[in-house]
A and B are shown apart, each in its own frame.
Chain A
């Protein structure tokens, strides 16, 4: 556990020691603003809520989060520091989790820095702040799911660009799983159970209710289990690479 904290701190410090964290945060905030105000019609809707803000997060994360995740392991492999890290007396679980949590914290920080929009909506009207808090938490968990996929893809290759492309592709698959784009593509004779099962695995199914302020424990559980599975897969990939 101690080592987990040490690795977490080192990783987070690493993000802020380079321009990466600042570039990520600034671009995240700008795109968020564009999506919410321009595409989401934040003002035109005339409602004091953050639905247009959160509604774009699955699509925003699709490009922003893999950009962070791609370096997690691929860069360590490329620079050789993975050899240093994995020969220190550190459990692999601590390393995988520490790195993931640091990246997750960075997305959390970026998300928190969107607070002016929360102030704005409170200034303009009288929103349900409980709903907004719930949506923030849900959005952060969803970001974690993207990151966990990215962690695994990054462990697969020493090339972070490949890791990025793979992560975006897989994340995209999970985003559209719950959307009419994919569900509509099933032929009519497909049993409803299968369509439902596929939809249940998609991000949107779970995020839609969250973005409307319903923080169902099952949705949080879905993202938590999803993260756990992909992190486990990351660890397994790293173990396999040790032997091959």
Chain B
């Protein structure tokens, strides 16, 4: 379990992480979200022991990262931002170096190296020096070193950044396959990634938690949760039509496509009610579907709200 207690990290006068507290348990894949500069990377650097906290504590399975750094670090696999690797080494040399540092020798080391090279598809560049590799390959070398010792805790700072869509999918698949008894913390600003791999998402902004829940819970906080999207083929004043329907909170017209409308729910599913109305009143409906709550909306609303508060 990762326990973060009242973590604060300052750079000179700038507070990057502000009194952050949360826990991550076995089996959780935590998506760490936030706008650029929100403190995601800083938090990860403190968790992994690269930066010391200004205040507060981080413990990994009971080992404090400050007072028992070696024990804590042995449990962690970490992909730092930008996936730095020693460019002058070949992929194989680099992974051998990591394997030795992680305490593996001989056959065991070779077996593990072969295993991770297969997992992240690095076989093609085994003997290539890392600095000559493409961005995607470099990122995967970074991933390979992070998972080589089958760590209990995996901290990945933007693992899919710079990968093409296929590679992104592979990495997500990899994270999903890892998860079961592990703790995974993934920072990202790709929101679909959270829905795809995470069991829990924390949104931080200006170093503070502004939302914490399962992706589904967060989606439910979207104003578009349960909303119904309608595209009309003829003239109709939808707002007028829906006036007085208790379940409906409002109607929004699409700014680009004038014929499209979003009917907002007051909290409950409204699809059945709206479709009933459409049939009764014979609306000229061309398309009709439920819109899912988007993490984007929640993200935008919580991070913007925090910024507005700051401004006020």
Chain A interface residues (CB < 8 Å from chain B): 3, 6-7, 10, 13-14, 17-18, 79-81, 83-84, 86-91, 242-244
Contact = CB atoms under 8 A, between A and B. Distances in A.
6 contacts: A14-B88, A79-B84, A83-B80, A87-B78, A88-B101, A89-B101
Contact of B45 (A17, A81, A83, A88): A83
A17 to B, nearest CB: 4
A79 B86 CA distance: 8
B82 interface: yes
A10 B101 CA distance: 11
Interface in B5-57: 11-12, 45, 48-52, 54
Nearest to A16: B88
Contacts of A242: 50-52
B49 A86 contact: yes
Given A6-B97, A86-B49, A89-B101, A17 B88 contact: yes
A88 B73 contact: yes
A79 B87 contact: yes
A18 B78 contact: no
B86 A243 contact: no
Contact of B84 (A6, A14, A83, A90): A83
A13 B96 CA distance: 13
B101 A18 contact: no
B102 interface: yes
Contacts of B88: 14, 17-18
Contact of A84 (B71, B74, B85, B93): B85
Interface string B126-167: 000100000000000000010000000000000000000000
A79 B93 CA distance: 18
Nearest to B77: A87
B97 A87 contact: no
Contacts of B51: 242-243
The secondary-structure label for the interface of chain A is helix
Given A89-B70, A242-B51, A84 B101 contact: no
Contacts of A79: 84, 87
Nearest to A5: B100
Interface residues of B, number: 33
B13 to A, nearest CB: 12
B101 A91 contact: no
A242 B66 CA distance: 11
Nearest to B86: A81
Interface string B55-79: 0000000000000011101101010
Given A10-B86, A242-B51, A243-B52, 4 more contacts: A6-B100, A14-B88, A80-B82, A89-B101
B89 interface: yes
B114 interface: no
Residue of A87, A242, A244 with highest tally of chain B CB at under 10 A? A87
Contact of B74 (A10, A14, A80, A89): A89
Contacts of B78: 84, 87
A88 to B, nearest CB: 5
A243 B86 CA distance: 24
Task: Name the 8 nearest CB pairs between A and B, nearest first.
Answer: A80-B84, A89-B73, A243-B52, A89-B74, A83-B80, A87-B48, A17-B88, A81-B84
A68 to B, nearest CB: 15
A90 B98 CA distance: 11
Contacts of B101: 3, 6-7, 88-90
B93 A87 contact: no
B265 to A, nearest CB: 46
Contacts of A80: 80-82, 84
B74 A83 contact: no
B85 A81 contact: yes
B80 A14 contact: no
B47 to A, nearest CB: 9
A14 B89 contact: yes
Interface string B81-125: 110111111000100011011100000000000000000000000
A15 B123 CA distance: 26
Contacts of B52: 242-243
B102 A87 contact: no
A66 B12 CA distance: 30
Contacts of A14: 86, 88-89
